[in-house]
Amino acid sequence: MKNFVEELRWRGMIHDVMPGTEDLLLKEVVTAYVGIDPTADSLHIGHLVGIMMLRHLQSCGHRPVVLVGGATGMIGDPSGKSQERNLLDEPTLRHNQESIKKQIAKFLDFETKAENQALMVNNYDWMREFSFLGFIRDVGKHITVNYMMAKDSVKKRISGDTGEGMSFTEFTYQLVQGYDYLHLYKEYNCKLQMGGSDQWGNITTGTEMIRRIAGGEAYALTCPLITKADGGKFGKTEKGNIWLDPERTSPYQFYQFWINVSDADASRYIRIFTLRSKSEIEQLEAEHALAPHTRILQKALANDLTINVHSEADLQSAIEASEILFGKGTTETLRKLDEKTLLSVFDGVPQFEIEKESLNNDLNASDFLAGITAIFPSKGEARRTMKEGGVMFNREKITEETLITQSMLLNDRYILVQRGKKNYYLVIVK
RNA sequence: GGGGAGAUACCAGAGCGGUCAAAUGGGGCAGACUGUAAAUCUGUUGGCGAUGCCUUCGGAGGUUCGAAUCCUCCUCUCCCCA
């Protein structure tokens, strides 16, 4: 059996691991789980870390379980600074769960008939019928308040100078999550829970419950929170989260996100988010160091993830689009594109539709950019950016004086507007 | 319940009768350098038919030729004492 802990270790995916975990995983096929909140019907790339832990787990021969936190998601984990959660109704919950499962199925094998087939469960299914009295008698009885208060997440909130305090509901959160672990332990012989480093306290409440209530031994493993070298939040752009759902984040944007990762982050990310071997990654790093401008690491990262989350075909069109937009493309190359290619290339790019008549009479650039399209929020800003040389039409710089005419149209219908280096918009004339 | 401090642009934070569309920093946007990286440097950051005009300094009134600045009331925030 492949050494799972060792695998995560060289990938930099271990923050904390309970003693004995490694031995257990070498000795037998272990069932392990990661929890995910079903707050939306799509995952975003922040979720990918947990999924990749399970992916590696399964490829090491163990059995991954995805726990959808239908119940816990309603309460809200005090470790985060999250506000009160909204209670999801059951149809939404089920819908989200199904959508998420489809996405995860690209990483985990739910179909194999082998003993390590992946499994998805929802804690709503066993928490729903649990009565309050039943819970405090059967579960709460075994854990002391003293123990619960010792958790960092609780201490911070109670003693904090910020003095926010915490509600009883949030205080109870660790018991509910801990009970999940106990339930999975009894039901599936699940002996390992994994998660982000902020989950350590909650996970150990679970192992404690298993020890006291079931007299069993269970383990914990956490990975460091993913950071960016510049201190920003991982997985967020100005435009928001990077989602796995192509409707929310187009494959092109998804691909671009990974291509834009800084060198400092690329080495870490490629270990975490791809399945490439240690020697292969070290080889890539060596090549990258010799010719950093080719961005071999970023490309490998973007390739693997785009294929994994979307498809080979999506990757190809993302690459094609990127080459046209960021390569040596000129107005000439743009004009040579046939309509079909052009549309597929710009599929993931924001689009605006305008009337053909508006191009007839001396339309000036600022009216075009901030009037009939909403590429800029105001004419002032459009003018300013043009003055700074930051606006291009069909890859040629324009100025405030430029008039927009039909002769600019590509294929008689399109204008490619570029704002700054990276923002593209396709204007379609009807 | 008593006393005090405050609310300014995306955020933090100056300004305390005209020279204020409002210092400074952060953030954002753009440019240069590069590799669609990082760092750095530069410009810019209310709107518009633009040597001018309009809307902004918690809200509503008032004083004044003139208010972010002074007065009154209201709303909210923070601190101290009980």
Told to judge if A207 belongs to the known catalytic residues of this protein, a careful annotator would answer no
**The predicted structure's pLDDT at residue A168:** 81
Q: Is A428 helix (H, G, I), strand (E, B) or coil?
A: strand
Angle at A25 between CA A30 and CA A101, to 5 degrees: 40
User: Which one of the listed residues A109, A198, A304, A367 is annotated catalytic?
Assistant: A198
Q: What is the mean pLDDT of residues A287-314?
A: 93
Q: What Å value separates CA A162 and C1' B22?
A: 33
- Ranges of CATH 1.10.240.10 domains, chain A: 236-326
Token representation of residue A287: 């090549």
ipTM of the complex: 0.81
Q: What Å value separates CA A420 and C1' B28?
A: 13
Nucleotide nearest to A259 (CA to C1'): B36
Protein-covered nucleotides of chain B (CB closer than 7 Å) are 28-32, 34-39, 43-50
- Ranges of CATH 3.40.50.620 domains, chain A: 4-223
Q: What Å value separates CA A158 and C1' B3?
A: 29
In angstroms, the CA A46 to CA A41 distance is 14
Could you say which of 3.60.60.10, 3.10.290.10, 3.30.450.20, 3.40.640.10 is the CATH number of the domain covering A331-429?
Answer: 3.10.290.10
Any alpha helices (H) in A210-311, and if so which ranges?
251-259, 263-273, 278-290, 296-309
Told to judge if A81 belongs to the known catalytic residues of this protein, a careful annotator would answer yes
In the CATH hierarchy, which fold is given to the domain comprising A236-326? Tyrosyl-Transfer RNA Synthetase (1.10.240)
Would you state the torsion angle of the CA atoms of residues A19, A23, A24, A29, taken in this order, to the nearest 10 degrees?
150
Rg, chain A, Cα only:
26
Strand A240-241 and strand A351-354: pairing?
unpaired
Token representation of residue A180: 């999940």
Q: Which residues pair with A397 in a beta bridge?
A: A392
What letter represents residue A285's amino acid? E
Told to judge if A236 belongs to the known catalytic residues of this protein, a careful annotator would answer yes
Q: Which residues pair with A145 in a beta bridge?
A: none
pLDDT tens string A334-360: 888 888 888 887 877 888 999 888 887
Told to judge if A373 belongs to the known catalytic residues of this protein, a careful annotator would answer no
pLDDT tens string A383-423: 999 988 899 998 888 888 888 888 888 888 999 999 998 88
CATH class of the domain defined by A4-223? alpha beta
Q: What is the mean pLDDT of residues A115-130?
A: 92
CA A348 from chain center: how many Å?
18
Q: What Å value separates CA A56 and C1' B4?
A: 61
**Residues A119 and A64: beta-carbon distance below 8 Å:** yes
C-alpha separations of A419 from A146, A326, A385 in Å: 58, 13, 8
- Ranges of CATH 3.10.290.10 domains, chain A: 331-429
Q: Is A54 helix (H, G, I), strand (E, B) or coil?
A: helix
Q: What Å value separates CA A162 and C1' B17?
A: 40
Told to judge if A44 belongs to the known catalytic residues of this protein, a careful annotator would answer yes
Any alpha helices (H) in A274-329, and if so which ranges?
278-290, 296-309, 312-326
Task: Please identify which residue in the block is written with the tokens 């390992």.
Answer: A192
In angstroms, the CA A183 to CA A401 distance is 70
In angstroms, the CA A295 to CA A298 distance is 5
Strand B: which residues have Cβ below 7 Å from it? Answer: A 229-230, 238, 256, 259-264, 292-293, 295, 298, 322, 325-326, 366-367, 370, 377-381, 383-385, 388-390, 419-423
pLDDT tens string A369-390: 988 888 998 999 999 999 888 9
% pLDDT > 90, chain A? 52
Token representation of residue A198: 């902020």
User: Which one of the listed residues A47, A191, A268, A299 is annotated catalytic?
Assistant: A47
Residue A94, Cβ density class (10 Å: 0-12 exposed, 13-18 middle, ≥19 buried): middle
